[in-house]
Structure 1
């Protein structure tokens, strides 16, 4: 991911310095485990020397890789140079025990799992922060009446706080999916070529994985099965879809003809190079755009699952791109959404205005039920309700200042409803008698 969309903490996880630092720790731990076993020639003194003197520089690794065209060998050569630099001439070199009995994927896959876990931990903090913000704002706006919309058309009254509450629950499910993906990804393997432990004791794998906070894969075939990585990318894609949904709502609410809410507009900000009046939802649009990248990357994860026989490296290059990019983009998206929703400007007066723009049509469902209660059939009631509603729609579409929906019903001899009943029907809060049930559930939500 380009630096524009990468926040520092996440970026550092996917830099070479961090990757090689994890590689180094795995190799040192493997030496310590071998020394504990005492099955090969490495001693605890050798392992201690290796830990004390191990090191690398990215520049030197790159120099070596330019010749070897093999990143693991380049790293091991660089690390070996550091380990042996102070060994007296003529003495055996401790670096010979590094990577003993291991294969490249033992190192690369186990380290990649560590990077994934580190990254998911950051995203989980993002989810927690945004979820708590949505919950807080839901209660702040639980009494802000607005029009609920289905298909983009006014449906029934609701409260704006319910929107935030819905987003909070979606983020809770996002948290659960990411935690599950983290558990699946927190797996290491140090089992040698094709996973048979032919040159390394299973104790080494167990020792290293425990120290690195991972679980040893029960049966790796030199590589970790890529369903794990596909699940991670899938969880990231769903998380991106959740943020995209919220951002899309903000964009819709910020439309000039709606303008019930808008993302923060900072002092000095400019909306358009040509039209100075513009306040565009640029952050929400950016989130929607980046969501497309994260969702598309999930497909690469699915394609990476199928490898030839026990392994190939067709997954490797693609994986280096999509994992880093997806984590960086999603972390950036969460940062922007936190800023946007925490500071979202809401306009309750405009919400109420919009609620009344359709001249009472939004109460049609209550009219339908009230007419059924008078003893006529649902079909008869529906005809009365729709006939009067369509007349109001026609006036609205033609910008005619005609009767309201209630006034048309009062003038319709077939709509036999008393003024008292109509008063109850045309009260928006009559739709929200069970609102407290929704917010009681939300009150119990924890991240």
Structure 2
């Protein structure tokens, strides 16, 4: 019989065959949707490389270079015919990924091979594809954020007037409502949508810039015609569906753009962490809980538990995402002159991982919001445990209006309040301040139903319900109205929530 020591030793190296012996990225294997995974997939990346080569050749032909319609048609007909093995073989031979795929494309487009990548440098396909992927990922994330706001709108409206205990410093404060608290979360995401919109609107392509950004090769191709080089850049950008390009570049587009994009994603993560952190605290108070499946197990040991695992997962991924902009900032700051290659490996990780994380976060948020459960009885019980202290001013004023002495009444209610507080904290008893007031003849003017009316929670929520209505109408509805088409699209969300 094998000993534990021998089993441990045997597990130190991978088996000769069978089993899952390679690292699997959890963002792809466990969490992210098929949609976002596809945006950062090899198929999307290398297909976009081919589209860029077609756009470049198309524009070059339009401007007079010797490129035939037959060559362009051959490229278009083979755009999806990627021989992965051949590309890998050529990349290993040349030790250059772009040239590996140039030859793989040329292998199925022999007539077009002489003009594929004409005048371009590797960053023409690399950087421009990054921007295409960033744009498509931003559009997908915007769609999911809009749908999340739509779900949250229903939650906020439903609970617009349900009084709940507010907290400052996580200490009991004045009342608010469950719906009003939800608008605090939503307001952060409204700001995130606005930042996302600006990012999409302002996102530029690298365009056609050449080896060090001088466009020297293209100027040579067009016999020194500066206007044709400028037109080539504009036309390629247009063919790829963009209307902006960076004015100047070195070999790459400024890596500050990556930082700005990841900062927008970090903003979404910050908002998510804030909301889910609050829900986790409320779950401990048993006031609000995230969805809990019928057969879900909260703890392997403590069968009674309902752990807020969706919110915890969201916070975990949000913490990771919030750390990525610092990497992008350091990458941009360390780029020497026209470029260095120390940006390459890290960008292969933080760009896709930033969007994959954001994708999972927003999907989880929508799932949480769609099934978030409020326990009104518990909410009210906590309100009523604290409300007597808050109602003392109302009681005092009502008794003064009935002819009482303000100073004498103030001292009496102060003494009662201190005694009630000591009973709560020192003896663990319920708050009996109202019983003390009801038993003191000095407050006879408010005894009976009058006293109960003075501690109605709805009197202490200010304009919370109206603020919810106004926020939804003025801040959320314009976003939903603007993106009605997005709300009708179906998500391909296979995320493990």
TM score, norm. by length of structure 1: 0.88
CA distance in 1, matches of 2:91, 2:398: 79
Cα distance in 2, alignment partners of residues 288 and 254 from structure 1: 15
Corresponding residue SS for 2:165:
strand
Partner SS for 1:305? helix
1:129 is aligned to 2:129: no
Name the residue aligned to 1:316: 344
CA deviation after TM superposition for structure 1 residue 151, in Å: 1.6
Q: What CA distance in whole angstroms lies between the structure 1 residues aligned with 2:31 and 2:458?
A: 44
Shift, 1:72, TM fit: 1.0
- Ranked by relative contact order (alpha carbons within 8 Å, sequence separation 6 or more), the top structure is 2
Flag structure 2 segments of 5+ consecutive residues without an equivalent.
1-26, 219-228, 480-497
User: Do residues 399 (structure 1) and 427 (structure 2) align?
Assistant: yes
User: What residue in structure 2 maps to residue 266 of structure 1?
Assistant: 293
For the structure 1 residues 108 and 406, does the alpha-carbon distance in structure 2 shift closer, same or farther, using more than 3 Å as the test? same
CA contact (8 A) 1:194 1:310 kept: yes
Q: Distance in 2 between matches of 1:58 and 1:365?
A: 76
Q: Name which of 190, 193, 199 aligns with 1:181.
A: 199
Match of 2:306 in 1: 279
What's the Cα RMSD here? 2.9
CA offset digits 1:140-160 (Å, max 9, x no partner): 111222111112222122211
- Report if the CA contact (8 A) 2:206-2:252 is conserved: no
Q: Deviations over 1:32-69 (max 9, x none)?
A: 1110001x332344333333345423332222222222
Equivalent residue in structure 2 for 1:218, among 247, 252, 266: 247
Distance 1:423 1:217, change over 3 A: same
Cα drift, residue 386 of structure 1: 6.5
1:227-268 Cα deviation digits (max 9, x unpaired): 21111100101101111111111111111xx10111111121
Given candidates 123, 137, 147, the residue that maps to 1:119 is 137
Q: 2:319 aligns with which of 274, 292, 297?
A: 292
Local SS of the residue matching 2:133 = helix
Whether the 8 Å contact between 1:361 and 1:389 is mirrored in structure 2 is yes
The verdict on how the C-alpha distance between 1:83 and 1:400 changes in structure 2, with shifts beyond 3 A counting, is closer
Does 2:77 match 1:48? no
Q: Is the 8 A contact 2:204 2:246 kept in 1?
A: no
Q: Which residue of 1 aligns with 2:282?
A: 253
Indicate yes or no: 2:461 matched with 1:432.
yes
State how far apart, in whole Å, the 2-side matches of 1:233 and 1:381 are.
Answer: 59
SS in structure 2 at match of 1:360:
helix
Residues 222 and 396 of structure 1: CA distance in aligned 2, closer, same or farther (over 3 Å): same
Aligned-pair CA distance for 1:393: 2.6
The answer on whether the counterparts of 2:409 and 2:442 sit within 8 Å (CA) in structure 1 is no
Equivalent residue, structure 2, for 1:154: 172
Between the aligned partners of 1:7 and 1:231, the Cα distance in structure 2 is 24
Q: Which residue of 1 aligns with 2:354?
A: 326
Aligned residues: 434
Q: Which residue of 1 aligns with 2:216?
A: 198
Distance in 2 of aligned mates of 1:314 and 1:369: 71
- Residues 366-421 of structure 1, C-alpha deviations (whole Å, 9 max, x = no match): 679889999979xx999987665443332112235476334556788999986698
**Cα distance between partner residues in 2 of 1:241 and 1:195:** 36
Whole-angstrom distance in 1 between the partners of 2:84 and 2:398: 75
After superposition, residues 300-311 of structure 1 pair within 5 angstroms as 300-306=327-333, 307-311=335-339
Give the superposition deviation at 1:331: 0.8
> For 2:174 and 2:455, how far apart are their aligned partners in 1?
11
1:166 counterpart = 2:187:
no
- After TM superposition, the score normalised by the length of structure 2 is 0.80
Residues 103 and 372 (structure 1), Cα distance of their counterparts in 2 relative to 1, 3 Å cut: farther
Could you tell me how far apart the structure 1 residues matched to 2:101 and 2:319 are?
35
- Tell me if the contact between 1:189 and 1:223 (Cα under 8 Å) persists in the aligned partners: no
Give the match for residue 27 of structure 1. Answer: 53
The answer on whether the counterparts of 1:261 and 1:345 sit within 8 Å (CA) in structure 2 is yes
How much does 1:166 deviate?
Answer: 2.1
Distance 2:185 2:46 in 1: 39
Tell me which residue corresponds to 2:17. none
Range that drifts further, 168-177 or 351-360: 351-360
CA deviation vs aligned residue, 1:157-202 (integer Å, no higher than 9, x gap)? 2211112222222221111111112223342321102211111223
